[in-house]
Structure 1
Amino acid sequence: MPSPVPLYKYRALLLSQSFFIKDNAAELRLHAHKYDFDMAFFSEVSQFVAAVEGDTGNGLFVIDLDALHNMQSDMLDSRKTLMLGELLQRLPAGKEYVYLQSSRQGGRYLLQQKLVDCHCLAYAEKPIANDVLVDKLFKLFVQQKRGDLVRLMHLGDMSGMDEACLHKARIELVEHDQAQTLHLRVRELQPDLVLVSDAEFARTESLAWVLKKNIEADPVREIVLLQRQPDAALMQRALANGFDAVLPAGDAGLLCAQLVNRASKIRVSKDLISKDRATGLLNKVGLQQKAQELIRQAAREERLLAYGVIDIDKFKTINDTWGHYFGDIVLKRLAVCLASHLGERDLLSRFGGEEFVLVFWDCTVEEGWARLDAMRRAFGALPFEVRAGDVRRFSFSGGMAAYPACQTENALFLRADAMLYEAKQGGRDRICPAPIARAAA
């Protein structure tokens, strides 16, 4: 019986020179398949453009700028600058592109400026090893997911805030009207950004320090003064009293743009602290923070949580047999597999090594078991070509716990980890505890 044909959710489209494709296509595609995405190669602009236009949202679009030298007959003008200009004009709007360029091209600032101004997702300098290029593309696939929600808490007059603009940028706006209880609300909701009106600051100048001196304060959180009337002395007092920045509150559009930029920087800072660099998932620190917040939300809204801990079976044997590089590929493909089954408010973390943690929002432990077991079967169906013609499949075991039966993130982890141990002892490739009806069957 032939092995099932792997289905790749993601695909990289590469416009390149014929000789580059001929010499590298097979190896690039082989590396891409190890990371669970496919690659398609194009030597004609028209074919590439058609493929980009037909993409359903899971593509990454890569352009080798050296391809321009071989495409003069496909352009209206043979001069280099016009060829590049026409190429950029012909690319479908609303998409972002990855540009590969030579070191000579990379040294031209005006070229970089032109690319960045034309929907550049990223650029890279050649020569670049095939495995390195594929690894970088994989990370771009991970990074292209919608940014995490940034929570913005506002104290004071809300007029002039463009809520629709903030919502579009995935910024949640929370209003609070009592300066004396602001620190309690911040502790409860853990906002990423706190805005304080100049009127409130004038009444209580210690607001920022009260928030920052809490030993559990988020070091990434920014506290910003909104100033409606220019006042240099007030700005200086605010900065001296713990505020991170002062923004003018007069123009709603300008204020929204500034807040969106600050939210983007907050996301980057939080990623550096809370994300695993290899998979792009939450790390242990990020998980603990997000899980504690999710537990608080579940308590407020009277929702259930299902908490799962999984561990790749015999992962040491995988590393010892095929090397740590191959082991990293198994980890990354598992990350992609798990992420494809998540809901909007679920959490996924690479907790450490080959261990992953999942938190399912508004989910019973029985429903969590079913979802995690579906992930187990999906991962078990993935083919891994360990060497030419030698395809293997791997498995993981998992344990489940439930909130509110377990009240804290630590209690949930300990319970689920104990169930993971039972799954390992019971023969691996299973989730414990199995639902009563299924266990009886």
Structure 2
Amino acid sequence: MKEGRKRFVAELRKQLRELQDLCQLNPAESFIGLDEMNRIYRIVHTIKGSAPMFGFVRIGSVAEKLVHQWEWIQESEALALPAASVIQRYQASVLNGDGLRRQLSMELDVYSHELELDEEQEHRSKTSGYSSSSRLLVIDDDDVLRSYLVRRLRLEGYEVDDTSTVEGAQRLLREHSYELITLDLMMHPQSGYALFEFVKEDPTLKWVPLVVLSGRDDLHDKIRCFYLGADDYVTKPFEYEELSARIYSLLKRTKNFEQMAFRDPLTGVYNRRFFDHQIQVELKRVSRYPASISMVFIDIDRFKCINDKHGHHVGDIVLQGMAHMLQKHLRATDLLARFGGEEFVVVLPGTSAVDAKKAIHAILQQAHKEPVAQYEGQAYYITFSAGVCEWSEGMELEDWIKRADGAMYTAKQSGRNQVLLYEEGMTTTILASPESGLQRKKVLIADDDRILRSILISKLQHLPIDFVEAADGLEALDKMTQQFFHLCILDGVMPRLDGIEVLEKLGARTNRAEGLQVLLLSGRSREEDVSRALELGIEAYMHKPFSMVELEVKVKQLLKLV
């Protein structure tokens, strides 16, 4: 059909040009032969018959009016008239049909544009995945309509499941993930309304677009459906093309929202927000259909050195390359997310801890062989440390995450560049906060101003942070060399050692612990202090007095709490 429509448009363009030539009124030669007039009639008659077959209804309608203008040519009585009368009728047909010929040209332009848009939409569907990767659920107790919708949607490249009952829909929604649902309201024995609560109260389904198909064009029904969470309402009977466009638009919008809300903007893999959502889906699936499932925490080794030596722009390229390498070697069913900083988490459904370790170790071996990134002719190789933990029945999600992270942390502490299975007693850097659901961070506040330390803790205590205080530079240095901190808020001017001296000695002693971020506060605005602090690798600098709102924003950014 698509190819036929394209050929019809091309042929119609030629036919209209020929009509234009045949209908030119020349004062010096105001009459054409009978063969030419018959040719005009045959052209418009052909257009009238063919256009509706290819869906060009408006063109067929205009052509039918033109046929009436030239019908007289087929009447033998008319051709027996004197030549002057025939010429007069010819000229009248040309003049009366002028507007219709222009209308045909305009309709041709419109349909040509529509065909171009259809091809663009088809290309977008193939390249963006709005069709080929989208799974739809059609719920309708009208067997004929349901079968028709399923066939048409599948022709467009969608994967489609269907059912005639609410009970069947609930079963399918538990077993599969869908990108969009079409729901008939008037079904038996349960109406479509019975499914609204099931869909919109399930956290794994509440964001799935829902299109209501109803035989009732009732305002009360429409309002009720939209209040209950419907995304669109289409009244039967409907044109399939309109429904298809609505579905495409909803899927496109949902994909765009997902890209903004659930994707890490730097690497393109899923973010922590999506991980928190999807891990619940995976655990629910395992509870219904028991199977192995493993979690892996992955952390790039010595990533801070890459940033310090080559710059953050190279660090970003390395992160992108790492994400690509993981995606390339993981299965489509595996869940990959950036957990924060240089840390990634992978969930492998249907996989034991031993098999998960083998899969991740194979990726580590690949990292030894090929660079994850290239920049300005230089290749960058990395290694990573990974911890694997298999979920067991009764295990809390919080404990599962802590164990996988603990195995990864042990891998880093025992030499890096390895994949370890979790064993009892492995420590972890993640302390979960039941209230917030976010990992807790450890922050050192090093400032000789006791009141300022108290204010900082008071203003930041609503965040998932555990605070440690230091009253001078020497105490701060001792604490940072003895224990791990995610962030140090460091005063530039302190007794015994000032902030710059602390950074210098810390770098000489430990080469700056991996993962430690430094926010330097100073009442001095000397440019050389700022330059020296940046050379020593601080992540942020604020001059006293500063805005507490701005400080909180910086702390959240540095701790990846945004």
TM-score scaled by length of structure 1:
0.57
Q: How does 1:15-414 map to 2 (within 5 A)?
A: 119=120, 149-150=134-135, 152=137, 154=139, 157=142, 159-161=144-146, 162-166=149-153, 169-173=157-161, 175=163, 177-178=165-166, 192-200=179-187, 210=197, 214=201, 216=203, 220-250=207-237, 253-254=240-241, 255-383=243-371, 391-404=379-392, 407-414=395-402
2:405 equivalent to 1:417: yes
Deviation at 1:372, TM superposition (A): 0.3
User: CA offset at residue 396 of structure 1?
Assistant: 0.6
The structure with the greater share of residues assigned to strand is: 1
- TM-score for both structures, normalised by structure 2: 0.46
Percent identity, aligned pairs only?
23
> Does the CA contact (< 8 Å) of 1:160 and 1:249 recur in 2?
no
Count of residues in correspondence between the two structures: 305
The answer for unaligned runs of 5 or more in structure 1 is 1-111, 123-141, 436-441
Using the TM superposition, give the Cα deviation of residue 266 of structure 1 relative to its aligned residue in structure 2, in angstroms. 1.8
Residue 329 of structure 2: SS of its match in structure 1? coil
Which moved further from structure 2: 303-312 or 389-398? 389-398
C-alpha contact (below 8 Å) 2:134/2:178 kept by paired residues: no
Q: Which amino acid aligns with 1:325?
A: H
Any conservation in 2 of the 1:309–1:356 contact (CA below 8 Å)?
A: yes
Shift of 1:380: 2.8
Report the AA paired with residue 209 of structure 2. E
| Mapped partners of 2:373, 2:332: distance in 1 | 32
Q: Alpha-carbon deviations, 1:203-248, whole Å to 9, x = none?
A: 8696587458749476633333211344445334433554332023
Flag the 1:334–1:303 CA change in 2: closer, same or farther, 3 A: same
Displacement of 1:170: 4.5
1:46 matched to which residue of 2? none
| Stretches of 4+ aligned residues off by more than 6 angstroms | 112-118, 142-147, 181-190, 201-206, 384-389
Residue 368 of structure 1: how far off its partner (Å): 0.7
Q: Residue 220 of structure 1 aligns to a residue in which SS? A: coil
The runs of 5 or more residues in structure 2 that have no matched partner are 1-112, 424-562
1:248–1:273 CA distance, 2 compared to 1 (3 A): same
Which residue number corresponds to residue 456 of structure 2? none
Q: CA RMSD in A?
A: 4.2
Which of the pair has the greater relative contact order for Cα pairs under 8 Å at 6+ separation? Answer: 1
Distance 1:350 1:334 in 2: 10
Residues 414 and 189 (structure 1), Cα distance of their counterparts in 2 relative to 1, 3 Å cut? farther
**1:389 CA drift (Å):** 6.8
